[in-house]
Amino acid sequence: MSSKGFLSSPTNRRSFLKHSVGVAAAGTFGFKLASPAIAKETTWTLANSLRSLANPYHATFSKGGADFAKTIDAQYVTLVTEGNSEKGISDIKALLQRTGGKLILNVDPNDSPDARVIVNEVQKAGGYVVTQWNKPDDLHPWDHNPSYVAHMSFDGVPAAKALALQLFKAFGGEGGVVAIGGILSNVPAIERKAGLDQAIAESGGKVKLLDFQAADWNGQKAFDVTQAWLTRFQGQINGIFAANDDMGLGALEALRQAGLAGKVPVVGLDGIAGAVKAVEAGEFAATVAWDPLWTGGMGLAIPYAAATGKIDIAKEPKEHREFYGTSIMVTKDTVAAFKSGGAALDFNNLWSKVTGPIQYRG
Amino acid sequence: MEPVLEIRGVSKAFPGVKALDNVSFSVGKGEVVGLIGENGAGKSTVLKVLNGIYKPDSGGVFIDGMSANITSPRDAFDKGIAMVFQEQLMLPSLTVAENIFLGREEEFLKYGLISKSRMNVAAAIELSKVRLNVAPSTRCSELSFADRQMVEIAKALSLDSRIKGDVTILLDEPTSVLERKEIDLLFEIIKDLKQRASIVFISHRLEEVLAISDRVYVMRDGKVVFETTAADATVKGLHQHMVGRQLHNEYYREARQRHPTAVPVIEAQDLAKKGRFSNVTFTLHEGEIIGIAGVIGSGREDLAKCLAGHTAIDAGVLKIGGKPVSFRAAYDATAAGIGLVPSERKIEGLVASFSVAENMTLAAIPKFVSGCVLRFALENKTARDWVDRLKIKTPSTGTMVGSLSGGNQQKVVLAKWRVAGVRVVILDHPTRGIDVGAKEDVYELIRDMTAEGLAVILLGDTLEEVIGLSSRILVMRDGEIAATFNAAPGNKPTQVELVGHMV
Amino acid sequence: MGAVLSRAAVAKMPLLARWRNWAPVAVLFALCALISILSPNFLSLANFVGILNSAAIPTVLCMGATFVILMGSIDLSIEGIVAVSAVLVSLLVDNDVSTYSIGLLAVPIAILVGGAMGFLNGFLHVKLKTPSFMTTLGVGFAGIGIATTILGGFTARISDQSIRYLSLGRLLGLPVAAWIALGAVLLALLMQERMRFGRWVYAIGTDEMTARHAGIPIERTRILIFSIAGMFYGLAGVLSVAQFGQGHALISQGRLFSTVTAVVVGGTSLSGGVGSVLNSVIGVFIVTVLANGMILTGVPPYVQQGVQGLLIIVAVTLALDRSRLDVVK
Amino acid sequence: MGMRDRLQAYVPAIVLVALVAAIGLYDNTFFSSGNLLTIFADTMTLFLMASGVTFVIMIGGIDLSIQSVASLASCILAISLPRFGFGAVPLAILGGTVSGLLGGLVSTRLRIPSFIATLAVSGLVLSAAYWLSAERSINVSSEDSDRVLGWVVGETAGVPNEIWLGLAVLAILSGLFGLTPFGRLVRAIGSQERAVMASGIDVNRTKVAAYALSGTMAGVAGVVMGARLGSGSPTLANEFLLPAIACIVVGGTAITGGVGSIWRTFVGALIVQVVRIGMTFVGVSAFAQQIVFGFILVAAVAATMDRGKIFVIK
């Protein structure tokens, strides 16, 4: 039927891949953008579910998925939640339906509770799923063999703590910092704040937290907040800690307005291009890169291996079922190496970047 | 005399009403033509056809003998016709000058910009024509009602300095909101305007019309029934033609006029509302109809609104059935048994998109609820009863009221208050814009109400109506009751008597 | 064609009317006074410059939105249009994604593209007779989508100093962005006061019938206004890029409601016909100063939305002349 | 024209059927009963959100606070579930009612346009949610949710309970709308508020009730979301506001008030959901989805809007 024709049309596949790696020419959308329909019952379909393609982290995440899909020449689909849990979940259900359960899903749930619902749906349909970042503490892959292959995350607390220490180092270990948080109730936001607090506590009073404000992951808000801070704490601000790079860059621009860019060090997390550039320029003291290319790809490679029987997931040790990936601290010293590295990923070496089991903090 | 502006055999129908029926009408150069008739006779419709607001269904408009197609008021303006509307159309956020030249700013454009200074100068010229000294840069929201009327007139006059060739100015009840001296002023203006322009002049006040016009048309029920030169016309004669019948008392069912009982329903003591009316005192009895006469601005509408609870009184004592009351809003008045039949029927009287039944029960919904569910059967039955009783012409009780004729709509409004079981009905221009047959029905209904012991306060559409229906008449002027007349059947005051106290 | 002026309006004392006009300014001053008592730093020049920086983009946005709201319509496409123009600019000047480098030429292009999307708003709204609320909502969604598609989700970092100057540069000690915003205000004021459509907006917003009778081309004016609004959003897109040195699809997240709020807090009525671009400028400053002040005075993050909510209510209660609208929707 | 009206009433349903058919023809797994049921079930939260606001829009107002209100309700639910068990549900819904009431009072008593009044109240509600939840998202233990929230997440007669709930709400609200004085007044106020005032009716009381109802339904939606996701959080209902209003208008209810109904919103919600899911089925890439969605929205409104009784379109 027509869908078959549409599927096998190479131009469509090419244009789709082109767009999904994000070099779309302006003004070509609509059905040019339509991905090929899925051939049922024959191959596995790969899908990454993420918040929105409009942010660099997830765009790269999606690219990672596309890259892996290319290596096994499988259909690859990106689902976006638009920050709306219900939408995210119903899209996944629809895709499970459409692929008759032959779905390999790598999902960054919009909010931790979503994970349980998604896992149950995938298990019902007989697909395979890996979750990223968010899941309820009492939800474990080994309780849902074989469908729930793994949960991978990055430990926000130590990362943020290490990052904070980098920041303190940048201004000589003594002085006042201000901190910009994400959406107050988000798990990563909480972890990263916790990491910062630890670092401050350990500074033994040398470093003072002047103020903490929430900018909802929004660079714009971070900009306004920072400007107000510059007035409120004239001269007292020695460093700015931002819970993600976008807000960090917002803060940096506010500093630039006041001619303080590069004078007051900023740190952020995610390792997006802009932040890395800022590190090179010496305006960011550091950023933490999560390697979304790897998570985006490996989050599919592992369940694919399980699905195709390359590994028996049920027999894998727990630290291969719930684990932290390697986060990379990017500082002025390491930035060159960081940029050159991270080239071709070896999707066969599944556990190369595993750095230990998930910690549950009360 | 060669007519500059003329309509021939024009007919215009609105849903349920034939507003104009084969009307022919002409204005000569430099002529002032009076156009009189009761409300709903079709006067304003004629003007709105001339002004391009209404397209005639048949017949045509002719300018200097040439057939003309006037598409919009703006188009009319460019063809030398300007109109002063009954409803005021000043935009509050704009200045006087901007209102005068709204939509015609081109002449003040320079490099695409409006030169306010030039516009104000030009406006000042127009304002001087109406001897109005307000700064052209004043916001209209800060003008008095009468001043706005003068601005409206100035806006129309701005035509004659802008259009080459013949100019016609249509005045729809320009005097109704004006004070005596402003009226005299307006007449002077019209007189020296005659040198350059022709004028069509609508007014209720026959004396005025005779005083200013060269020629007079009388309209009734959408037809021109009489045409005469002002010189050989008399108020009485014109009046005959306007009403078209000798036996008014028959028309107004005077035979059924009850002798008011002694039971007071409303007792008003020195009611006052700042800037609107003051020390208004009267008593309304069961079965009585009190008519209130007065020009617009006399305060009678405001009084009516206060009695209906729409606005609050500032001073005085109002007793309903002996108990003093104060109304926070209309719902208090309704609860006290007072209902207002508003002049703005479509806005305050009815929910146009609601069915006949839904409208009839709107003011009495609780009566049609059992266990918080509407009793549709009862509602429909009640509605059907009233449809029969009031001879309402409607396909069904489920028909959208908006699609009924004005007369039938008005009956629905009356039915609404009957269903609500009010004891006092305030009628604000109850027969405005409804055709003659329906009028008689409405009069019949009013008599029915009094027969059933209801009391009525009537703000008549015409003096004649007030006189014909009321058993007592209060004449209001400048917010005070200037005179009170008893109007027992067969012994009614004349219009001239009343007018004497009105202006 | 309903009488344009209710009797109530006539009775209204001009004095009260004048106070109404000045209420937003009063609110602003009261706010400033309060904050400067709690935090002396507030009155520093540095903070003033900071506030100007934060206010620049919202001001430009409000210039567009005010006209639309004066017509009694609403524009929910702000974020979408800004996103598209921002992404375009960031791709057209020196950047790390595309190879274009046309410098300041990108500015007029971005403004025109904004205008084009605004035109789409107006065109669909007028021709399909769909309420502006939905039309602009749809176009807004599309805008975000387009911006995301163009960049494929990535961020374009710009290195073009001429664009950066628009935000970083200083003229007479004030940020260039502030001067541009000032320019936008003057332009909008010129349109509102001295151009025909500027006056017609009031007529349409107050009473479309009267406007029609006066021979005002309603449809054309509506489309024109939406297009002009789009152009202002386009300019705001340029400024956003200049300020953040990057363009991406979410660059204007949260701008929509803050803009409408500013317009209304400034005293422009959502029902149309009443208000002015100057009111909106005041509105922008009320909102900006409040946000700034809440941080200066250390209001805890999670109550800030609440405080803002309360202030909106207070400001609007004082500023909005509600005596004219006997029916509040 | 009566004929046209009657036809008009079916347009939304026709649009829906057409969409479903089109997508099904492209990929017929879409028709599988399981899938349709799933879509149906997933639509209900959206419908619950929109159902209450429909009344507000019918009176010519708007309620922009539902998103925060639903989140607040989910927080109240998650917090009080351990302590009060089932009592948590009415408590959470009550929270919604109160928030709605507040919006209504601000709008009517202070005579502030609902657009701004509810926007402001939404800020207050959000602060309250953050304060209650101590800025965390609160998990609902699975045994709690099994014990208390089974009526939301379970299945009955092979049909997900969300659907039963949605249909129940549809029935109740349609009844409220079509059979009660309240519904009658809501319609009347939306079409000609001044006539209703002049008929001696306390308009504000009805209005406030409408806002309260809107808040209540947002509360219910919050509870359902909390149950489905097993958590409460101040951001749980984010990105729900505009889609909810889209449902209402896509269903053909006039944003200017007076004209509309609950079932229109119900159909509207299904349309919105089908379009979204449909794009995944047809395989519209994630990039294009929002663009397509945006234009389909406008087209749908253009088709379903009942212009018979609307004169000036602003």
With b for 16 or more beta-carbon neighbours within 10 A and e for fewer, the C182-209 pattern comes to: eebbebbbebbbbbbbbbbbbbbbbbbb
Higher pLDDT residue, A242 or A35? A242
Q: Is 80 exceeded by the pLDDT of residue D7?
A: no
**D180: Cβ–Cβ under 8 A, 6 or more apart, which residues?**
B369, B372, B373, B374
List the one residue out of D224, D233, D267 whose CA is nearest residue D136: D233
Q: B352 — contact with chain D (CB < 8 Å)?
A: yes
Q: C36 — contact with chain D (CB < 8 Å)?
A: no
Q: Do D112 and C320 touch (CB under 8 A)?
A: yes
Kindly report the backbone phi and psi dihedral angles of residue B33, in degrees, each rounded to the nearest multiple of 5, phi listed first.
-105, 125
**How far does B335 lie from chain D, in Å, by closest CA?**
8
Residue of B301, B365, B378, B422 for testing the chain D interface, max D β-carbons within 10 Å: B365
Q: Are strands A284-289 and A266-270 parallel, antiparallel or unpaired?
A: parallel
- Please report the pLDDT score of residue D281 as a whole number: 84
- Mind listing the pLDDT tens digit for each residue in D273-293? 999 888 888 888 888 888 999
Q: Do D258 and B353 touch (CB under 8 A)?
A: yes
Residue of A86, A89, A114, A140 for testing the chain D interface, max D β-carbons within 10 Å: A86
**C169: Cβ–Cβ under 8 A, 6 or more apart, which residues?**
C175, C176
Residue C270: pLDDT band (50, 70, 90) is: confident
Whether B263-337+422-503 and B3-243 are alike in CATH topology: the answer is: yes
CA dist list (Å): A243 to A84, A268, A279, B502, C266: 22, 6, 16, 79, 34
Measured from the Cβ of residue A84, the count of other Cβ atoms closer than 10 Å reads 20
Domains of chain A: 38-154+291-325 (3.40.50.2300), 156-289 (3.40.50.2300)
State which residue of chain B sits closest to C202, comparing Cα positions.
B93
- Please report the pLDDT score of residue A316 as a whole number: 87
Q: B108-111, long-range: CB within 8 Å, 24+ apart, which pairs?
A: B109/C196
Nearest to C138 among D64, D294, D314 (CB): D294
Q: Do A54 and C244 touch (CB under 8 A)?
A: no
Q: Do D116 and C270 touch (CB under 8 A)?
A: yes
Place of tokens 């808040």: D215
List the one residue out of B264, B251, B253, B291 whose CA is nearest residue B451: B253
Residue A60: pLDDT band (50, 70, 90) is: confident
Alpha carbons B216 and B226: distance in angstroms, whole number: 8
Measured from the Cβ of residue A284, the count of other Cβ atoms closer than 10 Å reads 32
Q: Is the CB of residue D222 less than 8 Å from the CB of residue D73?
A: yes
Kindly report the backbone phi and psi dihedral angles of residue D35, in degrees, each rounded to the nearest multiple of 5, phi listed first.
-65, -50
Amino acid in the structure at residue C21: N
**How far does A72 lie from chain D, in Å, by closest CA?**
20
Give the HSE-up count for residue C55: Cα atoms under 13 Å, Cβ half-sphere. Answer: 29
Alpha carbons D210 and C153: distance in angstroms, whole number: 41
- Please report the pLDDT score of residue A343 as a whole number: 55
Mean of pLDDT values over A312-317: 87
Amino acid in the structure at residue D131: W
- Please report the pLDDT score of residue A362 as a whole number: 52
Q: Do B347 and D192 touch (CB under 8 A)?
A: yes
- Please report the pLDDT score of residue A30 as a whole number: 35
Chain D contact set for B416 (CB, 8 A): 199
DSSP per position, D252-280: T--TTSSS--HHHHHHHHHHHHHHHHHHH
| Residue A143 DSSP code | G
For A314, counting Cβ atoms within 10 Å of its Cβ (0-12 exposed, 13-18 middle, 19+ buried), the class is exposed
List the one residue out of C209, C327, C203 whose CA is nearest residue C274: C203
Q: Do A218 and C253 touch (CB under 8 A)?
A: yes
Alpha carbons A89 and A109: distance in angstroms, whole number: 9
Chain C contact set for B134 (CB, 8 A): none
Instruction: Find the Cα–Cα–Cα–Cα dihedral B453, B454, B455, B456, rounded to 10°.
Output: -130
- Mind listing the pLDDT tens digit for each residue in C23-71? 889 889 999 999 999 988 888 888 898 899 899 999 999 999 999 999 9
**B426: Cβ–Cβ under 8 A, 6 or more apart, which residues?**
B304, B307, B308, B338, B339, B340, B341, B456, B457, B459
Alpha carbons B121 and B358: distance in angstroms, whole number: 54
Mean of pLDDT values over D120-144: 88
The 3-class secondary structure across D59-78, one letter per residue, is CCCCCCCHHHHHHHHHHHHH
> Per the structure block, which two tokens stand in for A308?
């195709």
**A243: Cβ–Cβ under 8 A, 6 or more apart, which residues?**
A160, A179, A180, A181, A182, A188, A189, A192, A193, A217, A268, A269
Alpha carbons C148 and A54: distance in angstroms, whole number: 5
Q: Do D180 and B420 touch (CB under 8 A)?
A: no
Residue A11: pLDDT band (50, 70, 90) is: very low
**How far does B113 lie from chain C, in Å, by closest CA?**
5
Residue length of chain C:
329
H/E stretch holding B331: helix B330-335
Q: Is 70 exceeded by the pLDDT of residue A1?
A: no
- Please report the pLDDT score of residue C68 as a whole number: 96
Q: Is the CB of residue A43 less than 8 Å from the CB of residue A72?
A: no
Alpha carbons C274 and C272: distance in angstroms, whole number: 6
β-bridge partners, B139? B95
Give the HSE-up count for residue C291: Cα atoms under 13 Å, Cβ half-sphere. Answer: 25
- Mind listing the pLDDT tens digit for each residue in A81-131? 888 888 899 889 989 988 888 999 999 998 888 898 899 999 999 999 999
Alpha carbons B298 and B145: distance in angstroms, whole number: 13
Residue C17: pLDDT band (50, 70, 90) is: low
Q: Do C295 and A213 touch (CB under 8 A)?
A: yes
**C224: Cβ–Cβ under 8 A, 6 or more apart, which residues?**
C122, C197
Domain residue ranges in chain C: 44-319
Place of tokens 């405005």: B432
Higher pLDDT residue, B77 or C3? B77
Q: Do C9 and B87 touch (CB under 8 A)?
A: no
Q: Is the CB of residue D216 less than 8 Å from the CB of residue D52?
A: yes
β-bridge partners, D291? none
Q: Is 60 exceeded by the pLDDT of residue A23?
A: no
> Per the structure block, which two tokens stand in for A230?
């510059």
**How far does D190 lie from chain C, in Å, by closest CA?**
9
Give alpha helix (H) positions in C100-175: 106-127, 132-151, 161-168
Residues of C with CB under 8 A from a CB of B: 1-5, 7, 9-12, 14, 17, 190, 193-196, 199-200, 202-203, 206-207, 210-216, 273-274, 324
- Mind listing the pLDDT tens digit for each residue in C58-105? 999 999 999 999 999 999 999 999 999 999 999 999 888 888 888 889
Q: Is 70 exceeded by the pLDDT of residue A29?
A: no
Alpha carbons B409 and B399: distance in angstroms, whole number: 11
Measured from the Cβ of residue C171, the count of other Cβ atoms closer than 10 Å reads 9
- Does domain B3-243 fall under CATH 3.40.50.300? My reply is yes
Highest mean pLDDT out of A7-11, B254-258, C272-276, D50-54 = D50-54
Residue of C51, C98, C149, C304 for testing the chain A interface, max A β-carbons within 10 Å: C149
SS3 D216: helix
Alpha carbons B492 and B471: distance in angstroms, whole number: 9
Radius of gyration in angstroms for the set of CA atoms belonging to chain D, rounded to a whole number: 19
Q: Do B362 and D191 touch (CB under 8 A)?
A: no
- Please report the pLDDT score of residue A196 as a whole number: 95
Alpha carbons A78 and C71: distance in angstroms, whole number: 41
Chain A contact set for C53 (CB, 8 A): 227, 254, 257
Q: Do D200 and B372 touch (CB under 8 A)?
A: no
- Does domain B263-337+422-503 fall under CATH 3.90.1150.10? My reply is no
Chain A contact set for D282 (CB, 8 A): 34, 37
Q: A141 — contact with chain C (CB < 8 Å)?
A: no
- Mind listing the pLDDT tens digit for each residue in C310-327? 988 888 888 766 554 456
**A340: Cβ–Cβ under 8 A, 6 or more apart, which residues?**
none
**How far does D161 lie from chain C, in Å, by closest CA?**
32
Residue of A15, A57, A224 for testing the chain C interface, max C β-carbons within 10 Å: A224
Nearest to C295 among A219, A229, A257 (CB): A229
State which residue of chain A sits closest to D289, comparing Cα positions.
A30
Q: Is 50 exceeded by the pLDDT of residue C13?
A: no
Alpha carbon C255 to its chain centroid, in Å, reads 9
Going D14 to D20 to D26 to D29, the CA torsion angle's sign is negative
Q: Do B53 and C213 touch (CB under 8 A)?
A: yes
Nearest to C148 among D194, D245, D287 (CB): D287
DSSP per position, B383-398: HHHHHHHTT---S-TT
Q: At what angle do helices A219-232 and C45-70 cross, to 10 degrees?
A: 140
- Please report the pLDDT score of residue C19 as a whole number: 67
Q: Is 60 exceeded by the pLDDT of residue C155?
A: yes
State which residue of chain C sits closest to D116, comparing Cα positions.
C261
Chain D contact set for B358 (CB, 8 A): 184, 188
- Please report the pLDDT score of residue A18 as a whole number: 37
Q: Do C145 and D123 touch (CB under 8 A)?
A: no
Q: Do C134 and D255 touch (CB under 8 A)?
A: yes
Place of tokens 């009585």: B288
Q: C139 — contact with chain D (CB < 8 Å)?
A: yes
Peptide bond into C131 cis (omega under 30): no
Taking one residue from B and the other from C, the number of pairs with CB-CB distance under 8 angstroms is 94
Which chains have 3+ CB pairs within 8 A of D? A, B, C
Q: Do B89 and C206 touch (CB under 8 A)?
A: no
CA dist list (Å): C133 to A218, B446, C147, D246, D291: 26, 47, 21, 10, 17
Binned average pLDDT, 10 residues per bin, chain B of 503 residues: 86 80 91 84 88 90 90 88 80 89 88 90 90 88 81 86 82 77 84 86 82 90 89 82 63 78 90 90 92 85 91 91 90 92 87 92 92 92 92 88 84 93 92 75 90 91 84 90 88 81 76
pTM of the model: 0.88
Domain residue ranges in chain B: 3-243, 263-337+422-503, 351-415
**A268: Cβ–Cβ under 8 A, 6 or more apart, which residues?**
A242, A243, A244, A245, A246, A247, A248, A249, A275, A284, A287
**How far does C73 lie from chain A, in Å, by closest CA?**
27
Alpha carbons B90 and B96: distance in angstroms, whole number: 8
Residue D314: pLDDT band (50, 70, 90) is: low
DSSP per position, A230-290: HHHTTTTEEEEEESSHHHHHHHHHHHHHTT-BTTB-EEEEE--HHHHHHHHTTSEEEEEE-
Nearest to D255 among C80, C133, C313 (CB): C133
Domains of chain D: 2-307 (1.10.3470)
β-bridge partners, A208? A176
Alpha carbons C224 and C188: distance in angstroms, whole number: 14
Q: C147 — contact with chain D (CB < 8 Å)?
A: no
> Per the structure block, which two tokens stand in for C236?
């705001």
- Please report the pLDDT score of residue D309 as a whole number: 57
